[in-house]
Amino acid sequence: MFLAGDTFHRYRIEEKIGEGGLGFVYRAYDPILHREIALKIVRPEVARTPSGQLSEAALRLMREGRAVASLNHRNAVGIFDVGEIDGTPYIAMELAPGKLLSTYVGDDDVPIRLRIGWLAQIACGLDAAHKEGLVHRDVKPENVMVCDNGEVKLFDFGVVKRVTAPVLDDSEPNSEPVATRVGAVMGTPLYMAPEQALGEAVDGRSDQFAWATLAYELLSGGVHPILGKNPRGVPIVISWFQPGAGPKRLADVALELPAGVSDIVMKALSKLPADRFASMGEIVAALEAIGKAMDAAEQAGDAEIAAAPTMWQPMPIMDAMSGGTSRPRLLSRKAKAWAWALAGVLVVSVAVLGYRFGPWGRRHVAQHH
């Protein structure tokens, strides 16, 4: 492990910002490009096999860097450099300060509009990866960064799979076996699509299923789509075969979702790839349309409040005698609140004046004089 002030290759280590079983992630400084970076380094003890060959962990890191280097998108962490120094592989990546998406799962303070925007950005990053022939295979809240500048970025492409082209027809062969070695299935079981957990061919729709699982959790306040029947770490594909284990409609769990959001998530969560969306791009378009509708409704609501008549202005009403068809304009919530407050002041004022100048008030004053 490196300490602040140490150097690795040309990079100056500033602090450790992450650690895993395979290596460390440091915040470092690149003196040539004059910028801070995130530097991922494989642990020396796991970088090589006893025979001196690069280990699977080291090879995986190198594959990650080379694959993602071709992906230049604002919703994916950028790769600046990939290499090996003294037998230790490394990746120099974009430094994206922020918080993991998992931090916000279950946080009721995050507005639904913002959560939908985050999901659209994740879908956009995945769509870009799939167009490059890359399948992430490990989409989960812990692999998504909500940056301080508002952008959302996918990272940790450590088990990324490159295919020659997005495979959208089950009859087409995949360019590679699903695993990087025979008998191995890569990814996080709790978010794996059924076909991925079974070791079958994967494509962008497998990432789509993982995205839908993540979306279900984020929008429902932390409820997993398989509910409590799926112990942590057990592949979803196993849970599908338990009685009553199918997911509830998201709309039945998250009751305040805009129309259409639940349908999008549930379609992407379909057990069979053929029943999901053809691409993440379709999801992006659908979510962006919903987001624009929400923004328009909010702006219309603000305009209604700004233009709301005071209680001294006549309110337009339906003229039943003349057969008018205009609908009555209702006060907005804010206008109602102000109206009730003003009405309360008037009631209190009338009561005070009545007491002071009414018969009982005059009699009370005469007794004291």
What string of pLDDT tens digits covers the 369 residues of the chain?
899 999 999 999 999 998 877 889 999 999 999 999 999 998 888 888 888 788 887 887 787 788 888 888 999 999 999 988 888 889 999 999 999 999 999 999 999 999 999 999 999 999 999 999 999 999 999 999 999 999 999 998 878 888 754 434 333 333 333 333 333 567 788 899 989 988 889 999 999 999 999 999 999 999 988 755 555 555 566 666 565 567 889 999 998 899 999 999 999 999 899 999 999 999 999 999 999 999 998 888 776 666 655 433 333 323 333 333 333 333 444 455 555 556 665 655 655 555 555 554 554 445 554
Residues 87 and 107 in one domain: no
Q: Count how many domains the chain has.
A: 3
Residues 164 and 107 in one domain: yes
In a domain, 225, yes or no: yes
Task: Find the radius of gyration of the CA atoms of the chain.
Answer: 30
Q: Which two tokens stand for residue 334?
A: 């804010």
In a domain, 283, yes or no: yes
Distance between CA atoms of residues 360 and 349, nearest Å:
17
Q: Known catalytic residues?
A: 138
What's the pLDDT at 56? 80
Q: Is 192 exposed, middle or buried (0-12, 13-18, 19+ CB in 10 A)?
A: buried
With a CB cutoff of 8 Å and minimum separation 6, the contacts of 223 are 216, 217, 253, 254
Kindly give the pairing relationship between strand 35-42 and strand 23-30.
antiparallel
Question: Which of these, 178, 194, 68, lies nearest to 132 by C-alpha position?
Answer: 68
Residues 63 and 38 in one domain: yes
Distance between CA atoms of residues 11 and 162, nearest Å:
29
What's the pLDDT at 270? 93
Q: Where does a domain end: 41, 71, 94?
A: 94
Residues 43 and 141 in one domain: no
What's the pLDDT at 55? 83
In a domain, 2, yes or no: no
In a domain, 172, yes or no: yes
Task: Write the DSSP symbol of residue 234.
Answer: S
Q: Which two tokens stand for residue 314?
A: 């006549």
- The parent domain of residue 66 ranges over 7-94
What's the pLDDT at 20? 79
Residues 273 and 127 in one domain: yes
Residues 13 and 55 in one domain: yes
What's the pLDDT at 232? 56
Residues 72 and 23 in one domain: yes
The whole-angstrom distance between residue 82's C-alpha and the CA centroid of its chain comes to 28
Residues 361 and 275 in one domain: no
Q: Is 112 exposed, middle or buried (0-12, 13-18, 19+ CB in 10 A)?
A: middle
Residues 103 and 199 in one domain: yes
Distance between CA atoms of residues 269 and 210, nearest Å:
8
In a domain, 184, yes or no: yes
Distance between CA atoms of residues 193 and 273, nearest Å:
9
Residues 293 and 186 in one domain: yes
In a domain, 56, yes or no: yes
In a domain, 89, yes or no: yes
| Residue matched to tokens 């290596």 | 23
Q: Is 283 exposed, middle or buried (0-12, 13-18, 19+ CB in 10 A)?
A: buried
Residues 111 and 31 in one domain: no
What's the pLDDT at 63? 78
Residues 159 and 22 in one domain: no
